[in-house]
Each structure stands twice: as C-alpha cells, then as structure tokens.
A and B are shown apart, each in its own frame.
Chain A
C-alpha cells in the first residue's frame, strides 16, 4: 500500500495471481489456459502479456455473466472448456480461478470431474489452479500454477538421474540460456516451466495457434524420479513450492538457490551442479574470468550508483546482491508482494554495502506501490532504477535512468529477450549500470565544474580575453 495514502494502493507495483498462473502455464507443452471468471480479467491479462512478450497471447475466459455469478458458473466453464478444445486442440488445459470464481465459491474440481464424465475418452489433461487475484501477485500465481502442475500429473517415480529446475518468472531468453547451460555441464534436466519458445516464438511459414514449445506433461511426471530439484526461489512459501512438494511426496532431494545472477549466485549454482555430476568447462571458467574482469573495469563508476531495485521478491533479492557485489548501493529494495522474508535476505548486505560510502538510509519495502517507491527515490537520492517499465514516469519525473530488466516492459520492444541470468545476463545489468553513471558524469561534469570553480578572469575584466 501507499505510504502517503495508507488506505490506497497508488500506482501498483504488482499484478494479480491469474496473470502469473497463465504465464507459467505457457511453459507447459500443448497447454491452453482458461480463466474462470468474467471476461475482463482474461482480456486485460492478455493485453498486458502481449505488449511485454510481443507474442499473440490467447487465454480463454469462462465469461461469467450475472446469471453465472448468482447461480454458479458450471455451465459456463463446461462450455468454455469444450469450445477451447474445439478451437485449439490442446493436450493440457489449465483452469485458473479469478477473484470472482473464488468469491462465489466455485468447486472447480467437481466441474472438471463432470466435464470428464460428459466427455469420456477425450484425451486432455485438465489442471486446476486456485488463483484469486486478491490472494497474491503474479509471482504467487506463477508458483501456484507450478505447484498445481507438479501435484496433478501422474508421477513416474522410476529413478531417471535427471535434475529438476524450477524457476520463477524469467525471460524466455534467460530460459534458453539456462537450458543450454545445463546441457553444457552435461546434465539432463527437466524445466518447470519452460517459457523459452512459447513466449518468444519464431516466424514460420504456417502459424501455429497452439504453441509447440514447453515442457511436456510426460517430462513433468518424471520429476518424481529425478535425483535433485533445484528451485530458484528463496521466498516461495513451502506450500507454494514445487521443490518442497516433490520432496515431501516423492522424496526428491532439493536445494533452493537464489537466481543465478552475479558471482555468488552463479558460483553456488555451479557448485550444486558440479556436486551432482556436472562438469565445468573451460569456456565457463573463461566466462567467469571475463565477468570478474568486467567487474573491475566498472567498479569505480558503479560505486557512484544509488539504486532502487523493485519487482518480484526473488528477482529483487538476486539483483540487490549483484549490486552489492559491485559496489552499487541498493538504497531501495522493494516488492509489491507480501514478503516478510525479503528483509532477512538482503538487510545485512545492503547495510554493509551502504557503509562503504557512508550511506545512512536504505529501505526495504514489501507490499508496496510505486507511490512509496517514488517517495523514497526522491528522499534517498536514487540515481538508478532497476526493474520494470512501470517506473518510467518516475524515471522521467526525477530524471533517473532505468534499466528495464523485469516484467512488464511495455514501452520498449524486446521484453522477451531481456537477459539477467548467468554471467552474460549479469553483465548486461552491470554494464548498463556503469554506463548510466558514465553518461551522467559526462553530461554534467563540464557545466558543474565550470559553475563551481570558474569565477571569471579578473586580469582581463568580465569578458575575459574572448
């Protein structure tokens, strides 16, 4: 909520659960989503995603009407599912609830049961996701969908030696990197989810209405027999976490890691993979070395930066650490999610980093809006924004450069290709930060120094020697 107006959220730093759920389901092969609720939610979410990913986004709605709201939406949902099947022939359907469906108390499980009863022999897996918008942000919705998928497929517990990789919302380009990276270490992995193709598609001769990428349910069922789950989240609660679920239900060991950004993020990831049979290539060692080299190249410029980092909790945590490693002082770490664990994750190192430059005041904000972020940006002298394009107006108003590297990016193209993970992704952020500071100095130093020190040329009078 806002700090100026405590009863209002002013300029939200979050979206709602079904958006995250629908996004996650885009990473399942052959999957279409239908939001159980009224028409608007689905359309708004489609628009929001389409302008970030620059992809056609098709999400159905059960299009509840007044009638359905009063007497129950069963008929609408049944009809919606069969129409969706006619139009798209999906292998999987995710039924995500919205605020409305949850508030009127729809029993989605029973409706799905009825659908199967009425349509015996229909080869489509229907997964239900409880995602009322009031229950959380897109981040929680994303995990709710992953947890639902993991929990609702038939498990194949046969040990397969694979590694499960569970991610929060990362860009398709980052996902492609992650897949290549695991392959490069010689490891066989299952990705939950895999957005790499479906939300960053190719141009083809024939358009495929039902996207063809993503992880298949067959693969996902094998997660139960994997040798390890790596989950890139420190903040997902145990009951939202697929890793915890796979451990508790099928005994799959797990580690929860920060997103692989910065030196420590990457090192801990590589270390885990090495322990589980991954090989560290010469190229990777060189890449790490180049990254270290770049850190040194940029460190004096980065040290001038006072950053506000905002977005989903795991992104914020990882980005704050990347800042701290490079002497960029993160004076604001903010998330729109309710996330009591954020403070513990970043407080200590934010303080340590701030202390070097005698920065006294830093803020960690959870459940916050852009009104609060703007207020502290002004108060704390922020000179770098790291997050989504929803801060573009703060950027303009306060004249602060913005590194667009989190969802949503609506005012630039290429949201689907933003890189933040791995050494390369980290470098993308790092170089932009250093260059923002260089640009700032370049734009100002002549004038600043002139104003400050040039006092006219006394020997030649006011005009100088011309």
Chain B
C-alpha cells in the first residue's frame, strides 16, 4: 500500500485541534511530492498578464510560453495584445551561444512593427543559467526606442510563485515611479484583482455607485496609460493580498498611498469591504451611501440564498485554492450557506492567513499548505467532502473520487465576486452537488 503523506510534508498539515497554528508554509515544494504549484514565472505572469496593451515576451525555450498562452479569463475593454504569446523560442544553439542577441532583435523588430508602449521580458529558468544579461538588453532597448521595456527575472528555480508576485510588483513600481509627482485625486486603486470574468468591473461599479472614483486598477483591464495614473490615488484596495500586498506596501512607503485589504467573495466579506472602503476615505456621506448600498444589495441577494440553502445546508466542503485570502472568504461563504469546511488548503498561503483560517475553521478541519494529489485524495475521502473548490488540475481528481467540483480558478468564464458572483457561486455548487450523475456514478460497479 502506498503511503499518503511524506515525512517532510507532515509539518505542512494541521489536523485536529491545532487550528492552523504551526502549518509550515512559505517554503519550497518537496521533490517528488507532486506539488500543485507552478513557478516563479507563473506568479509574475499572473500579476502582469492582465495589462492588456503590453507585449509579454517570454525569453526562453518555448514550453513556458506555450503553457501560459491565453489561459486566463482576464477581460479587457481595450487592447487584446496580452492574449497573444510572444517567445524567443530558444534552441540548442542559443543555449550554447547565448540568447541576448536574439532577444535584442526581437524587441527591435517588435518596436518597429507594432509600436508598443510597454514590453515585459520574462527570463525563465535557463536564461538565468546561460547568463543573458536581460537587464542590459532591456535598458538599451528603452533608450533606442523610447518605450518602456521592463525585465522580469523570473527563473522558476529562484523561489516559489510568491517570489514571482514580488517580481511583478517591482516591475509595476518601476513603471509607476517616474509618474509619482502627479497631483493627488480623490479616488482609489484596486490592487490584486485580475478582472477574471469581469470581476473588477463589478467591484468598480459598486464603488462608483457609492460615489468613490476608481483611478487605476492593477492589473485587471489595465494598460500602460491607466497604470501610470495610479500614483495619483488616495487609497489602495488590496484584493488578492498574496500577490499584491507587497505592492501596496511599496506604494505606501514610496508614494504615500495607504492601503486596506478587501475581499469581495461572499455576502459577509463583500459587505464588510464596501463599508471599510467608504469609512477609510473618511467622508460620512460615502459611509452612509455604502451602508445603503450594502443593505439594498444584501436584501436583494437574500431570497436567492434562502432559496438554495435547503439544498446545500449541512454539506461538507473541501477547498484547495492558490492564495490564503480566497480560502478565508470561501470558508465564510460556506458558513453563510450552512455548509461546513472540512479540508482547506492553499498553494501559497502565508502564516497570518493560515492563522485566520485556523480561527475560522472547525476544530477537526484539516488545514494544509502546498498539498499534493495524494493528500487531497486521502483527506477528501476521510472527511467525506461533498464538494471540492479548486483549480483546473484538481478537477479530474475530484471527479474520479466521485466528488462534485466548483471551478475557482483563473480560467473561469463567470464571475464569482460581488453579489453577482454570489449567485453564480451558489448555483454552481448546487448544480454540481445535486447533479443526477452522482446517483449513477456511485453505483458504478452494480451492473449485471
């Protein structure tokens, strides 16, 4: 019989009574454990990808570009450039003789034919090893063409996805800093929302309805022109803290923009966030507007929730998502539905997030960082999960185990944030949990 939990993994799993304390996290993955995590490059790409008019050049062999080509559901109101894949497609000879020349030519050609305003150059694993000086290449290209060419040195081996988030935030700072002198305006930036299925638009709509202008968004439906407006905002709202809290901190320190953390998943978090944003701006009129808005939308949402609750109450949920903030919101969302979270894990959650998770979850909830398929399998079965909320790779595993599934990933095509998202979320949970297929599947060996 195969073992389900490797010794090195024990410390990243917290079972009964430990309440999330002591879940070892923010570590590199264990070799051979079949981690669900991607890499540094992936983290950087997640954050920068939604900048719609940027040319994202992946400097390296083709795979890294190929596997990340147009896989995300970030929507645009402008350019479609970001949906294309550009790669220097390094070959054997480039590995031997270096790829910097090819990269230079590629940028020159792009600058000439496509008149870009902004190019990101991602260095993937082997570029770090063969020693291409991409910083020098980018710097001289900026001078030659008078456009921004920003290097993102993101070799996969240089850390985890979290390191990639950081690199992306640094790249964004590089773009914003030259525009730090602009006059302050009343309004906020939305950080850490990638406009998946239009979610940023939904949130922006709420803020504007209350009377709060949105100056810039990072990086959902952003563009070079929109991005450099960000230093003028009065407040930053940080949605996905895992990826963007670092940026918020830098903007606070260097641009003098304070930030608050928000989340727009589920009624509780959405309402709390709306109120906190308004309060943070210190205008009683806005706070009153926010309260009215939240009350009205909550009242509108309740009949829907009440209608579905009887079909979901008492069911057990397992959660495995990218970051901690999402997991926290999901636990609350399940609570709102009368569901119990029995397993909760993230790819790259942080220490304080795991503590919050521990405080929210039940005593016997299994909490785990950087889980692998074997662990997910064991705990979902052991805890009799009725549904898994997760990413693309987890879906077929859930299905094979006979467990319904809710897609909470970057590829989805329907919003899960805000009041609109609540309805989508609940109806997706219902249609998977209560699908007739399970009745047949569970009797799968009863033929003849």
Contacts and interface: CB of A to CB of B under 8 A. Distances in A.
Contacts of A210: 2
Contacts of B31: 60-63, 76-77, 79-80, 83
A186 interface: no
B129 A100 contact: yes
A63 to B, nearest CB: 5
Interface in B346-398: 372-374, 377, 392-393, 395-397
B61 A50 contact: no
Nearest to B104: A7
A363 interface: no
Given A66-B157, A87-B372, A205-B445, A15 B62 contact: yes
A38 B156 contact: yes
A47 interface: yes
Contact of A83 (B4, B6, B61, B66): B6
Interface stretch (A51-59, A296-304, A347-355, A376-384): A51-59
Interface string B78-91: 00000111111111
Given A37-B125, A62-B31, A134-B94, A44 B63 contact: yes
B271 to A, nearest CB: 35
Contact of B392 (A5, A51, A77, A98): A51
B437 to A, nearest CB: 10
Contacts of A81: 32
Interface in A104-144: 104, 132-135, 137
A62 B29 CA distance: 9
Nearest to B83: A393
Nearest to B33: A83
A61 B372 CA distance: 12
Given A69-B129, A86-B6, A133-B61, A56 B400 contact: yes
B71 to A, nearest CB: 8
A157 interface: no
A12 B89 CA distance: 9
Interface in A409-458: none
A307 interface: no
Q: How many residues of A sit at the interface, in one of the four size bands?
A: 35 or more
A48 interface: yes
A40 B39 contact: yes
B136 interface: no
A63 B29 contact: yes
A205 B444 contact: yes
A9 B400 contact: no
A84 interface: yes
B105 interface: yes
Nearest to B130: A103
A209 B377 contact: yes
B177 interface: no
Contacts of B254: none
A135 B39 contact: no
Interface string B159-174: 1100000000000000
B393 A16 contact: no
Contact of B84 (A11, A47, A82, A201): A11
Contacts of B84: 10-11, 371
B68 A44 contact: yes
A341 interface: no
Contacts of A99: 60-61, 63, 95, 125-126
Contact of B158 (A53, A66, A133): A66
B396 A56 contact: yes
A465 interface: no
Interface stretch (B15-23, B106-114, B312-320, B337-345): B106-114
Contact of B42 (A40, A57, A132): A40
Contacts of A209: 2, 373-374, 377
B399 to A, nearest CB: 8
A51 B39 CA distance: 19
Contacts of A77: 31
Interface residues of B, number: 79
B32, B34, B105, B402: most-surrounded residue (chain A CB, <10 A) = B32
B109 A6 contact: yes
A268 interface: no
B147 interface: no
Contacts of B41: 40
A48 B374 contact: no
B50 interface: no
Contacts of A64: 157
A34 interface: yes
B424 interface: no
A99 B59 CA distance: 13
B91 A134 contact: yes
Residue from A64, A82, A83, A137 having most chain B Cβ neighbours under 10 A: A83
B67 A48 contact: yes
Interface string B394-410: 01110111100000000
A103 B94 CA distance: 11
B300 interface: no
B209 interface: no
A357 interface: no
A169 B345 CA distance: 35
B34 A59 contact: yes
Contacts of A40: 38-42, 64, 125, 156
A43 interface: yes
A203 B373 CA distance: 17
B182 to A, nearest CB: 34
Interface in B1-56: 1-4, 6, 8, 28-42
A104 to B, nearest CB: 6
Interface in A1-38: 1, 4-12, 14-16, 18-19, 34, 37-38
A89 B157 contact: no
Contacts of B109: 5-8
Contact of A43 (B35, B61, B66, B69): B35
A8 B64 contact: no
Contacts of B372: 87
A39 interface: yes
Given A77-B31, A87-B4, A205-B445, A12 B66 contact: yes
A406 interface: no
B125 to A, nearest CB: 5
A65 interface: yes
Contact of B32 (A1, A82, A204): A82
Interface-centre pick from A61, A82, A89, A207 (highest chain B CB count, 10 A)? A61
B445 A8 contact: no
13 contacts: A7-B88, A12-B89, A37-B156, A45-B63, A50-B393, A62-B31, A63-B29, A69-B125, A88-B2, A100-B156, A133-B61, A209-B2, A393-B70
Interface of B: 1-4, 6, 8, 28-42, 57, 60-70, 83-92, 94-95, 102, 105-106, 109-110, 113-114, 125-126, 128-130, 155-160, 372-374, 377, 392-393, 395-397, 399-402, 441, 444-445
